[in-house]
Structure 1
Amino acid sequence: MAQRFELHPVNPQPRLLRQAVQALQGGGVLAVPTDSSYALVCHLDDKAAVERLRRIRGVDERHHLTLLCRDLSELAQYARVDNRQYRLLKVATPGPYTFILEATKEVPRRVSHPARKTIGLRVPDHAVTLALLQLHGAPLLATTLLLPGDDTPLNDAHAIQARLQHELAAVLDAGACPAEPTTVVDLTPMGRGDDPVVIRHGRGALAALGLA
Structure 2
Amino acid sequence: MLIKIYPENPNPRAIQQAVDILKKGGLIIYPTDTVYGLGCDITNQRAIEKICAIKGIKPDKANFSFICSDLSNISDYIKPIDTTTFRVLKKALPGPYTFILNANGHVPKLLSSKKKTVGIRVPDNSIAQEIVRQLGNPILSASIKDEDELLEYSTDPELIHEKYEDRVDLVIDGGYGGNEASTVIDCTTGEFEVVREGKGSLEDLF
> Given the two structures, how large is their TM-score scaled by the length of structure 1?
0.91
Q: Which residue of 1 aligns with 2:71?
A: 72
Distance in 2 (CA, whole Å) between partners of 1:146 and 1:74 is 27
Distance (whole Å) between structure 2 residues aligned to residue 9 and residue 179 of structure 1: 18
- Once the 2 structures are TM-superposed, how far is the Cα of residue 58 of structure 1 from its aligned partner? 2.9
Corresponding residue of 2:203: 207
Aligned length, in residue pairs = 203
Equivalent runs, 1:38-77 vs 2, <5 Å: 38-60=36-58, 61-77=60-76
Q: Which amino acid aligns with 2:16?
A: R
Q: What amino acid does structure 2 have at the position aligned with 1:95?
A: G
What is the CA RMSD across the aligned residues, in angstroms?
A: 1.5
Matched, 1:82 2:82: yes
- Aligned AA (2:198): G
Structure 1 residues 107-146: aligned runs within 5 Å? 107-112=107-112, 114-146=113-145
What is aligned with 2:92? Answer: 92
Q: Deviation of residue 209 (structure 1)?
A: 2.3
Q: How far apart in 1 are the matches of 2:179 and 2:170?
A: 20
Counterpart Cα distance in 2 of 1:43 and 1:78: 14
Unaligned 5+ residue runs, structure 1? none
- The match for 1:171 is 171
Q: Helix, strand or coil for the counterpart of 2:85?
A: helix
Q: What 5-or-longer segments of structure 2 have no aligned partner?
A: none
**Which contiguous aligned blocks of 4+ residues in structure 1 show a shift greater than 4 angstroms?**
147-151
Letter in 1 for 2:199: R
Matched, 1:37 2:27: no
Q: Which amino acid aligns with 1:44?
A: I
The 1-side partners of 2:95 and 2:125 are apart by 9
Query: TM-score, with normalisation over the residues of structure 2?
Result: 0.93
Instruction: Indicate conservation of the 8 Å contact 1:56/1:147, yes or no.
Output: no
Identity of aligned residues (%): 34
